Amino acid sequence: MTDVSQESRQQQNGRIESSHHPETDSQRQDKNYYGIPPIKKAHWTWQIPIYFWIGGISAGVQLFTTLANVLGHKDQALTRIGRYTALITMILSPILLIWDLGRPERFYNMMRIWKLRSPMSNQSWALLVYGNLSGLIAARQAAEDGLLGRNFLSGLLTKLIPARLLGVLALPVALFVGSNTGTLLSATSVPIWARNWAFMGPTFLASGVSTALSYLSLVLHLGRWGEKKTHHVLRRAERLTILVETALIAASLVRMGKWGKPLFSKEIAPLFVGGTLLAGIAAPFALLFGRETRGKSILASVLALLGGLAFRFAVVLAGRESADDPEAYFSFAKKENVVEPQDNI
């Protein structure tokens, strides 16, 4: 007490102080510019996480139906649903992506050029290839199903389109689309995404396969279609995939370290912890054990699907928080933390 008053008396006795008082300026303790974000977050709105979700489902459906085909498991209902799903998702995806553009009428500029370094460019081309392949395959299926009528054209389509071969060709492209949704995010300056470059693609793909298996199981159950074996395999595959997905999410969290904090923030924790981890992974996993009933399977599928959607939203929203946090960016963009070409992980 006495010291303080002594100090202030001295100041009044002809001593000059600068007009600026650092100790009273709490803003200036941390090194940044008034907390204004040093990088800009992506503007992407709800269409993008939904596209990520749909793209993942599409990749997973392609994986499961192609493998069923190759491994000689012939289930008409499964093949049909797989082929129509691929087409529908490949119609929805570009619509969502074009919708989100600032200048939607110029979407075709994506096709001016192919840049291997740009995940967005790779994705556009992959969608174009995969979309056209799934269109052809679905056309053959429609002809077989008699949706195009019994005329010369459908006969021609059935004869000319080698659907099984095209399905095998489409598989790597579909898997690329599924994983690239994650890679696309990691190739930015946003700390939480960039830090986790190695696991973003794999995690999105695993989550995509898990949601796809749930989707197939859900549709087959709702329509009371599909062979018993199909249901059985879907269930078994889903259990294993959830394990892979959980391991990848755990690895991601370890890799993100302190930059993963936004996932547990007040706004995002409900989506990530509640929606993804508990409702989307733990609950369906538990439901997949024990006696197999239709009700339980449907519930598990719905939960896994919504969990996958919550995951996409959580990751995209966490990226916004991460980009808005100067401390996160500055501590990441330091020599010792930053991702460099020569780093292994």
Q: Among 6, 8, 9, 28, which residue sits at the site for another protein (rule: CB under 8 A)? A: 28
Q: Which stretch binds another protein (CB under 8 A): 35-43, 82-90, 259-267, 302-310?
A: 35-43
> Of the candidates 169, 138, 170, 134, which has an alpha carbon nearest to the alpha carbon of residue 154?
138
Question: Is residue 21 at the binding interface for another protein, with CB under 8 A as the rule?
Answer: yes
Question: Is residue 246 at the binding interface for another protein, with CB under 8 A as the rule?
Answer: no
Q: Among 12, 13, 29, 151, which residue sits at the site for another protein (rule: CB under 8 A)? A: 29
Cβ of residue 158: shortest distance to another protein, in angstroms? 27
Q: What would the 3-class secondary structure string for 271-340 be?
A: HHHHHHHHHHHHHHHHHCCCCCCHHHHHHHHHHHHHHHHHHHHHHHHHHHHHHCCHHHHHHHCCCCCCCC
Question: Is residue 189 at the binding interface for another protein, with CB under 8 A as the rule?
Answer: yes
- DSSP letters of 185-226? HHSSS-HHHHHTHHHHHHHHHHHHHHHHHHHHHHHHHHHT-S
Q: Which of residues 202-221 bind another protein (CB under 8 A)?
A: 202, 205-206, 209, 213
Return d(Cα 134, Cα 130) in angstroms, integer. 6
Question: Is residue 57 at the binding interface for another protein, with CB under 8 A as the rule?
Answer: no
Question: Is residue 86 at the binding interface for another protein, with CB under 8 A as the rule?
Answer: no
Question: Is residue 180 at the binding interface for another protein, with CB under 8 A as the rule?
Answer: yes
Length, in residues, of the chain: 345
Nearest residue (CB) to another protein, 161 versus 256:
256
User: What is the longest distance spanned by two Cα atoms in the chain?
Assistant: 105
Nearest residue (CB) to another protein, 43 versus 150:
43
Q: Among 6, 76, 118, 293, which residue sits at the site for another protein (rule: CB under 8 A)? A: 118
Cβ of residue 249: shortest distance to another protein, in angstroms? 13
Task: Find the distance separating the first CA and the last CA of the chain, reported in whole Å.
Answer: 55
Question: Is residue 317 at the binding interface for another protein, with CB under 8 A as the rule?
Answer: no
Q: Which stretch binds another protein (CB under 8 A): 50-58, 84-92, 175-183, 261-269?
A: 175-183
Q: Which stretch binds another protein (CB under 8 A): 17-25, 81-89, 135-143, 293-301?
A: 17-25
Nearest residue (CB) to another protein, 99 versus 225:
99
The sign of the dihedral angle between the CA atoms of 48, 244, 229, 139 is: positive
Q: Among 51, 52, 53, 199, which residue sits at the site for another protein (rule: CB under 8 A)? A: 199
Q: What x/- string results for residues 279 through 298 when contact with another protein is judged by CB under 8 A?
A: --------------------
Tokens of 128: 């174009």
Question: Is residue 335 at the binding interface for another protein, with CB under 8 A as the rule?
Answer: yes
In sequence order, the 6+-apart residues with CB closer than 8 A to the CB of 116 are: 122
Nearest residue (CB) to another protein, 20 versus 266:
20
Question: Is residue 25 at the binding interface for another protein, with CB under 8 A as the rule?
Answer: yes
Tokens of 177: 């689309």
Q: Among 9, 74, 236, 258, which residue sits at the site for another protein (rule: CB under 8 A)? A: 236
Question: Is residue 117 at the binding interface for another protein, with CB under 8 A as the rule?
Answer: yes
Residue type, 274: G
Cβ of residue 147: shortest distance to another protein, in angstroms? 29
Question: Is residue 99 at the binding interface for another protein, with CB under 8 A as the rule?
Answer: no
Return d(Cα 233, Cα 237) in angstroms, integer. 6
Question: Is residue 188 at the binding interface for another protein, with CB under 8 A as the rule?
Answer: yes
What phi and psi, each to the nearest 5 degrees, are found at residue 160? -85, -25
Return d(Cα 181, Cα 264) in angstroms, integer. 22
Question: Is residue 9 at the binding interface for another protein, with CB under 8 A as the rule?
Answer: no
Question: Is residue 340 at the binding interface for another protein, with CB under 8 A as the rule?
Answer: yes
> Of the candidates 334, 337, 330, 311, which has an alpha carbon nearest to the alpha carbon of residue 256?
337
CA 297 to chain centre: 24
